[in-house]
């Protein structure tokens, strides 16, 4: 049975009057007040409610409280046990979740219920919807300018142990033998007991971490051979070959080894060199979704796009909300070049699309720039440099608006230019090129009649971009891209996103996205506090002159005594007014 509360309707009597003036002021300036006012009612309860019956069954926990607890758990990087304790005793959490009564039904949530509601959110991909709803609300409340944004990625890791290639083989064999002992102990007895004793005990895996570097190659061949024997032994057994741990061994064998077998001859196993192992190969049997990045290692990556303010006054920047408008979790092996267009499309669909985006070189490929331009977005990113150091590149030549070369770096004008379809050709006098001191580094090469330079539309566009990069205007715009590095640091310091407590892509995605909500929440709280501080004059806090304050207090006390005298017949034991309607 669905249980929800109306958090939009206010109270007749303030349930938080016991806080006192100073503590109430601290509460109203904290993240709890902002969460209660704007985020709580934006939680996707309408998406969760259909999974429960409206009339049958035991009432659910109050759904706004349950979903809000998930957000606060990831914001503060808490375990399930710590989350239950915070919900039960933390006054800030009660204020944020609008829990005014002291019942266990309202302030207690068992770990099993927390796990169930989280699983429901993960299985139905509601984490992304929750982030978008909260970001849209904050963008409207704080009137965020989304015309200028920047994008970057951060590498994160799940709760998995870092394993080398020997560890991957040994762990896969150990997991398979453990499962085989549980499900088919008779089959385990048919194996070589030396192999079983080598891999089955938990302490046996520690021996592989003590392998000397000089013996690593020999040990790798040995463990790969043991894994190959197990795969061959049970390949014709349908019950064993259908086990998940067996398929994991088969995947490791295909990704790390090459099997050669001639007709009628025995199969020959050869371990692949490290450089030939694919980046999306299995990195850890406990987290098969994790992949490998040659630059950052094992794990996942999170794409983050945010707004930014270019005001030179630091106080004005403090009053502007840098809002994360898009967050997406990807395998670590994915290229950043594939993340830009989906981010622009996602933000544009929610009316948060940018007009300018600052990005690294990988995001600013020629293909991405063309697609973004068609969407009305300018990508400000350095072009990829492919020329050798010291060599003359196409960007050193001067171009016309139509893409034809006007003059070479040495000041020589081409004697002929040609443009056919998407190909350009420029011809220079051979006499000039023959005596040029830079002829060896120049891309212009001798031909039949002239010395020619051939290039296409793509090369011309990249050359123009490289020439623009040297301008002061580009440097002044691009210097703001460095600010997203501080965002990644805040993302980790505030929420602990770089080292998660979960494994598997769905769980990692859920945690990373909800932690981004937490970053937006904390940032919005700081901005609101800065705006309020800037709008109040020195000594603000009371609109009345000091001599009148005591008079007003006395009148308020008198009015309160009179109200208590009038309503005393209708007062309950706890002092609440019982309202009766007489028709």
Q: Are 405 and 453 in contact (CB under 8 A)?
A: yes
Separation between Cα atoms, residue 175 and residue 173, nearest integer Å:
6
pLDDT tens column, 427-468: 888 877 877 877 777 888 888 788 888 888 787 788 778 878
Mean pLDDT of 303-319: 91
Decide: helix, strand or coil at residue 271.
Answer: strand
Phi and psi, residue 16, nearest 5°: -110, 20
- Residue 389, pLDDT above cutoff 70: no
pLDDT of residue 197: 87
Mean pLDDT of 12-39: 91
pLDDT tens column, 134-193: 999 999 999 999 999 999 999 999 998 878 888 888 899 999 999 999 998 888 888 888
Mean pLDDT of 251-277: 83
pLDDT of residue 536: 59
Q: Is the dihedral of CA 27, 29, 30, 36 positive or negative?
A: positive
- Residue 543, pLDDT above cutoff 90: no
pLDDT of residue 388: 62
pLDDT tens column, 481-535: 999 999 999 999 999 999 999 999 999 999 999 999 999 999 999 999 999 887 7
Give the residue, 557 or 515, on which the prediction is more confident: 515
- Residue 547, pLDDT above cutoff 50: no
Q: Which residues make Cβ contacts (< 8 Å) with residue 409, sequence separation at least 6?
A: 392, 396, 397, 438, 442
% pLDDT > 90, the chain: 44
Q: If we measure between CA atoms, which residue out of 274, 284, 290 comes closest to residue 333? A: 290
- Residue 250, pLDDT above cutoff 50: yes
pLDDT of residue 350: 92
- Residue 546, pLDDT above cutoff 50: no
pLDDT of residue 124: 92
pLDDT of residue 583: 32
Rg (Cα) of the chain, in Å, rounded?
A: 33
Calculate ∠ Cα 566-571-577, nearest 5°.
90
Mean pLDDT of 376-392: 77
Mean pLDDT of 37-43: 93
pLDDT of residue 576: 45
pLDDT of residue 570: 54
Mean pLDDT of 389-415: 77
> Distances in Å between the alpha carbon of 85 and those of 78, 88, 109, 500, 574?
10, 5, 9, 20, 27
Predicted model pTM: 0.81
- Residue 261, pLDDT above cutoff 80: no
Most confident region among 206-220, 223-237, 262-276, 401-415 by mean pLDDT? 223-237
What is the widest separation between alpha-carbon atoms in the chain? 112
Decide: helix, strand or coil at residue 466.
Answer: helix
- Residue 291, pLDDT above cutoff 60: yes
pLDDT of residue 411: 81
Give the residue, 396 or 471, on which the prediction is more confident: 471
Query: For residue 328, what is the enclosing H or E element?
Result: strand 324-331
Separation between Cα atoms, residue 159 and residue 166, nearest integer Å:
20
């Amino acid at each position: 049975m669905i249980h929800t509360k109306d958090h939009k309707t206010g109270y007749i009597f303030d349930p938080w009057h016991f806080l006192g003036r100073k503590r109430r002021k601290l509460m109203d300036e904290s993240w709890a007040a902002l969460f209660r006012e704007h985020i709580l009612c934006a939680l996707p309860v309408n998406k969760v409610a259909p999974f429960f019956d409206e009339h049958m069954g035991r009432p659910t926990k109050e759904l706004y409280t349950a979903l809000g607890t998930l957000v606060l758990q990831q914001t503060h990087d808490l375990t399930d046990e710590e989350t239950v304790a915070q919900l039960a005793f933390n006054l800030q959490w009660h204020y944020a979740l609008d829990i005014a009564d002291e019942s266990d039904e309202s302030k207690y949530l068992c770990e099993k219920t927390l796990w169930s509601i989280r699983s429901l959110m993960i299985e139905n991909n509601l984490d992304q919807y929750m982030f978008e709803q909260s970001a849209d609300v904050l963008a409207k409340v704080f009137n965020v300018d989304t015309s200028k944004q920047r994008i970057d990625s951060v590498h994160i890791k799940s709760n998995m142990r870092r394993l080398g290639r020997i560890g991957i083989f040994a762990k896969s064999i150990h997991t398979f033998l453990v499962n085989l002992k549980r499900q088919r102990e008779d089959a385990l007895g048919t194996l070589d007991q030396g192999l079983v004793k080598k891999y089955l005990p938990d302490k046996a895996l520690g021996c592989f971490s003590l392998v000397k570097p000089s013996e690593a190659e020999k040990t790798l061949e040995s463990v790969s051979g043991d894994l190959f024997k197990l795969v061959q032994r049970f390949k014709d057994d349908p019950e064993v070959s259908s086990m998940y741990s067996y398929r994991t061994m088969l995947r490791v064998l295909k990704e790390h080894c090459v099997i050669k077998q001639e007709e009628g001859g025995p199969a020959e196993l050869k371990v692949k060199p490290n450089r030939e192992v694919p980046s999306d190969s299995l990195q850890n049997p406990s987290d098969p979704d994790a992949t490998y990045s040659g630059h950052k290692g094992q794990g996942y990556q999170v794409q983050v796009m945010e707004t930014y303010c270019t005001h030179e006054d630091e106080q004005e920047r403090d009053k502007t909300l840098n809002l994360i408008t898009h967050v997406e979790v990807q395998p670590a092996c994915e290229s950043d070049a594939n993340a830009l267009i989906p981010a622009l499309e996602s933000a544009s669909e929610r009316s948060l699309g940018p007009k300018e985006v600052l990005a690294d070189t990988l995001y600013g490929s020629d293909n991405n720039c063309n697609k973004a331009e068609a969407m009305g977005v300018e990508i400000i990113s350095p072009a990829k440099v492919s020329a050798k150091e010291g060599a003359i590149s196409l960007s050193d030549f001067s171009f016309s608006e139509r893409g034809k070369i006007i003059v070479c770096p040495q000041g020589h004008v081409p004697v002929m230019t040609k443009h056919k379809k998407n190909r350009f050709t420029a011809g220079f006098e051979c006499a000039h090129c023959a005596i040029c001191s830079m002829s060896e580094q120049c891309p212009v090469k001798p031909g039949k009649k002239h010395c020619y330079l051939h290039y296409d539309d793509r090369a011309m566009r990249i050359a123009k971009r490289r020439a623009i990069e040297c301008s002061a205007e580009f440097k002044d715009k691009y210097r703001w891209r460095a600010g997203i590095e501080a965002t990644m640091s805040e993302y980790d310091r505030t929420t602990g996103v770089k080292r998660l407590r979960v494994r598997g892509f769905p769980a990692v995605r859920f945690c990373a996205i909800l932690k981004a909500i937490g970053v937006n929440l904390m940032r919005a709280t700081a901005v609101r506090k800065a705006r309020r501080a800037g709008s109040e004059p020195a000594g603000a806090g009371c609109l009345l002159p000091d001599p009148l304050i005591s008079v007003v207090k006395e009148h308020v006390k008198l009015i309160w005594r009179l109200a208590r005298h009038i309503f005393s017949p209708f007062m309950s034991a706890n002092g609440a007014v019982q309202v009766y309607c007489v028709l």
